[in-house]
Amino acid sequence: MITDEHILLAHGGGGQLTAELIEEVILPALGPAGAQDASRLNDSATVVLPGPPGQVVFTTDSYIVQPLEFPGGDIGKLAVCGTVNDLAVSGAAARAISLALVLAEGLEVALLRRVLASAGAAARGAGVAVVTGDTKVMPRAALDGMVINTAGVGEPLAGAELGFERLAAGDAVVLSGPLGEHGLAVMCAREALSLSADLASDCAALNGLTARLIAELGPAVRFMRDPTRGGLAAILAEIAAATGRNIEIIEADIPVHPTVLAAAEMLGLDVLSAANEGKLVAVVAPEAGERAAAILAADPIARRAAVIGRIGEPASPPLVELLTRSGGRRVVQMPYGEELPRIC
């Protein structure tokens, strides 16, 4: 329940406080349909139009990462990939996006040029057009650097049948690659921590991965999501809460870059809760798990894809449990707030 009189940074962290803000403040004001069934909220919404083409998938997001440039990416690449990915994991092919800039007075033009060049390259690489935008400038005391807002429209992919209601006992949880690279790379850049030259954000467009999964596995793909704010922990907790089912994941099967693990341990962070900007979590039919991992691993951005767990039976309350390397069990909870501020 919302008890704070003012918005906290943690309300934007993708965890419990974010969920409370959406369910108690935002949904009641903006739509009775959404307010009646908050459990069906996805990264995009399918909109039925009165004429052709009939359906489009629509999403919007804002990006406030600091620093604006970091190993492996920048705010421009992040904004484009993030919007493409929200459409992709909803079972849609991105067709067009808008890009609006809110700039701080005094921002270096050279930096803006680099960010826009990066955004353009990311859009071309993902096969999506930037078709409209807007630019505003605020006093330097009111804004740190820049904020980018994007909105995207996409076309539903043939054969995509995704939803919490399709998940069943035995379904395989598939992860496309190592966790935590974006969150830890941004954190280390922000704090000027020179842990390793190979620590870089995983920021990438996922639309190629999702399209191949749908094309080859069809309805065997039950659910997809990209583990951004709140990381893998937030997604699994969301699935458990929405379906009322236990989930078991196996620590030894979860890929993690050694540098990321070392950085997380040094900073006291949980890799399961760290943000990612180029990873995919898919839940597929039991018999399709290894095939899904192989399809993903054929792409260079998902070479370490693996089946990391299974959906279990209904339970009250439903739990996400991590089977540790030592043979113990740990409950994985929805992150409360945000460990790494301003990472996406």
Residues 300-316: what's their mean pLDDT?
Answer: 97
pLDDT in tens, 41-94: 676 677 666 655 678 899 999 999 999 999 999 999 999 999 999 999 999 999
Residues 6+ apart with CB under 8 A from 198: 257, 259
pLDDT at 34: 42
Structure tokens at 262: 């070392």
pLDDT in tens, 206-246: 999 999 999 999 999 999 999 998 999 999 999 999 999 99
pLDDT at 89: 98
Residues 326-339: what's their mean pLDDT?
Answer: 87
pLDDT at 24: 83
Residues 108-116: what's their mean pLDDT?
Answer: 91
pLDDT at 227: 96
pLDDT bucket at 268, cuts 50 / 70 / 90: confident
Structure tokens at 314: 């209904």
Domain locations along the chain: 40-156, 164-331
By the 10 Å C-beta count (0-12 exposed, 13-18 middle, 19+ buried), 271 is classed as buried
Q: How far apart are CA 190 and CA 270, in angstroms?
A: 18
Residues 105-133: what's their mean pLDDT?
Answer: 92
Asked if 338 and 15 touch (Cβ cutoff 8 Å), the reply is yes
Between helices 181-190 and 258-267, what is the axis angle to 10°?
Answer: 60
pLDDT bucket at 308, cuts 50 / 70 / 90: very high
More confident residue, 219 or 31: 219
CA angle 317, 322, 325 (to 5 degrees): 155
pLDDT at 52: 59
Query: Over the chain, what is the mean pLDDT?
Result: 89
Q: Are strands 55-63 and 45-48 parallel, antiparallel or unpaired?
A: antiparallel
By the 10 Å C-beta count (0-12 exposed, 13-18 middle, 19+ buried), 314 is classed as exposed
CATH of domain 40-156: 3.30.1330.10
Q: Which of 49-63, 153-167, 255-269 has the highest mean pLDDT?
A: 153-167
pLDDT at 200: 93
Alpha helices in the chain (DSSP H): 16-21, 27-30, 32-36, 75-88, 109-126, 181-190, 207-217, 231-243, 258-267, 289-297
Q: How far apart are CA 120 and CA 85, in angstroms?
A: 16
pLDDT at 41: 66
Write down the CATH superfamily of domain 164-331. Answer: PurM-like C-terminal domain (3.90.650.10)
pLDDT bucket at 36, cuts 50 / 70 / 90: very low
